Amino acid sequence: MKHLDGSITAPLGFLAAGLHCGIRKNRLKKDLMLIFAEKPCDAAAVYTQNRVKGAPIVVTQKNLASGSARAVICNSGNANTCNADGIEKAEQMCAFAAQALGIRPDQVVVASTGVIGLPLPIAPIKKAVPSLAKALSREGSIAAVDAIMTTDTRRKQFAVEFELGGKACRIGGIAKGSGMIHPNMATMLSFLTTDADIEPALLYEALLDTARETFNMVSIDGDTSTNDMACILASGLAGNARVTARGAEYDAFREALGEVCTCLAREIARDGEGASRLLECRVTGAKCTEDAREAAKSVIGSSLVKAAMFGADANWGRVLCALGYSAARVDPLLVDVAFSSKGGRVNVCKSGTGLDFSEEEAAAVLKCDEVVIHVDLNENEASAVAWGCDLTYGYVKINGDYRT
């Protein structure tokens, strides 16, 4: 497997574009994106488990019932959620894209991100879609990822190449997400493409399992968005023998998909609103994988742990506190904790009891821009990794006036 330049247009058969249509007041901010597949694709998606769902989620679930799609349209600046006309406008977005591309509306995935509860202005989208379609190109992935960003400060895009049956295959992905992130079955928004040939049921299974291990292991602020979605389109143009069952070929596909989604998940955590450092919690020695995931996610989601990391304070008691209220089966008298970074490593807790350590050396470790929290439960052999960020003054500032 090797990393490639680009993202969603690295796989064969995909074009992308992005532009400013007028939803966002800042004309320098792109706010409408389109991905187009040159042939019908097998498709799958996972969605937010929040009971309050954006209208695009409802429409996309209906459109993907067939397991096929050819396009994705997404706007930023407005979530099209909790609006009386939300479904109608999401369907209109599909219709506009379909007309411009010469396909059916039910072949379009639709997504929106931004402020909740404000009516979506549909006229700017209708006017811009023909130009958006004309701008589609293999070089359009950067414009596309720019168009889905809200409070994001960096692009999140990756692609890899791998082999299936001797054929070179590719998977690419883009994502947006910086705040309101504590996913359950998806991330804020992620759009993935592949030229591998794999049947829809296995494509969905791979996406679902990968989301559990990657996107669902990110927490910025404990809030699960109303518009979370991760979808993948598979063109099959790589020419590999179609993957129709679990086995070595499926495992290779899963590994490549996992690599792309892990990279995207880390970048989402790194770009958390107001964040100054990326946090990674590695849990080992759990009784089972689910316990490991629950423990890691609890630590990475703790506001007190996040605040301590912002202050470069090796307050390991907060880690044990987060483990104690997690759903994981934890014996506190067995837990070991350490912190590491490019500044070194400091062991702070052994068998649930504090160790003597240098506060100065610990602070030097925690002041680096990437910090790993090591937790060994010493129960069995299961492990998991979760990603998050520190909690800073900037987070409150961004979200205190996000709407106004």
DSSP run (H or E) holding 33: strand 32-47
Say if residues 226 and 264 touch (Cβ distance below 8 Å).
no
Q: Are the beta carbons of 168 and 180 closer than 8 angstroms?
A: no
Q: What is the pLDDT of residues 383-403, one digit of tens each?
A: 999 999 999 998 888 888 877
The answer to whether 355 touches 269, Cβ cutoff 8 Å, is no
Q: Which pLDDT score, from 0 to 100, does residue 396 have?
A: 87
Check residue 179 and give its pLDDT. Answer: 76
CA separation for the pair 305, 334 (Å, rounded) = 20
Task: Please check whether residue 49 is in contact with residue 164, taking contact to mean a CB–CB distance below 8 angstroms.
Answer: no
Q: Which residues contact 64 (CB under 8 A, 6 or more apart)?
A: 43, 44, 45, 109, 231
In contact, 205 and 160? CB cutoff 8 Å = no
Give the closest residue to 59 by CA, choosing from 82, 41, 86, 77: 86
Task: Check residue 286 and give its pLDDT.
Answer: 98
Residue 87 gets which letter from DSSP?
H
CA atoms within 13 A of residue 181's CA, in its CB half-sphere? 37
All structural domains of the chain with their residue ranges: 2-270, 278-400
Pair type for strands 189-194 and 229-234: parallel
Residue 222 has a pLDDT of: 82
Alpha-carbon dihedral of residues 232, 236, 237, 238, nearest 10 degrees? Answer: 100
Tens of pLDDT, residues 169-221: 999 999 998 877 787 766 679 999 999 999 999 999 999 999 999 999 999 88
Contacts 24+ apart (CB under 8 A), 221-224: 221/179, 221/180, 221/181, 221/182, 221/272, 221/273, 221/395, 222/182, 222/301, 222/303, 223/179, 223/180, 223/181, 223/182, 224/48, 224/49, 224/50, 224/180, 224/182, 224/183, 224/184
Q: pTM of the entire structure? A: 0.93
Residues paired with 50 in a beta bridge: none
Instruction: Please list the active-site residues.
Output: 187
Q: Is the C-alpha dihedral spanning 108, 42, 228, 58 positive or negative?
A: positive
Non-local (6+) Cβ contacts of 380 within 8 A are 285, 286, 287, 288
Pairing state between β 353-354 and 229-234: unpaired
Reported as a single tens digit per residue, the pLDDT across 249-294 is 999 999 999 999 999 999 999 998 889 999 999 999 999 999 999 9
Tally of residues, the chain: 404
For residue 306, what are the contacts with CB-CB under 8 A and spacing of at least 6? 279, 388, 389, 390, 391
Closest among 128, 132, 120, 131 to 91, alpha carbons compared: 120
Q: What's residue 13's pLDDT?
A: 98
Q: Let me know if 319 is exposed, middle or buried by CB neighbors in 10 A (0-12, 13-18, 19+).
A: buried
In 207-365, which ranges are E strands? 218-219, 229-234, 278-286, 336-341, 344-350, 353-354
Q: Which of 144, 137, 177 is nearest to 34 (CA)?
A: 144
The correct answer on CATH 3.90.1010.10 for the domain covering 278-400 is: no
Q: Which fold has domain 2-270?
A: L-amino peptidase D-ALA esterase/amidase (3.60.70)
Query: Which pLDDT value is given to residue 315?
Result: 97
- The segments of the chain whose pLDDT lies below 70 read 185-187
Quickly count: other Cβ atoms within 10 Å of residue 284's Cβ.
20
Strands 218-219 and 382-389, by their bridges, are parallel
C-alpha span between 187 and 271 (Å, rounded)? 14
Tell me if 366 sits within 8 A of 314, measured CB to CB. Answer: yes
Q: What is the pLDDT of residue 223?
A: 77
Q: Phi and psi for 328 in degrees, rounded to 5?
A: -75, 150
Q: What are phi and psi of 356, to 5 degrees?
A: -75, 130
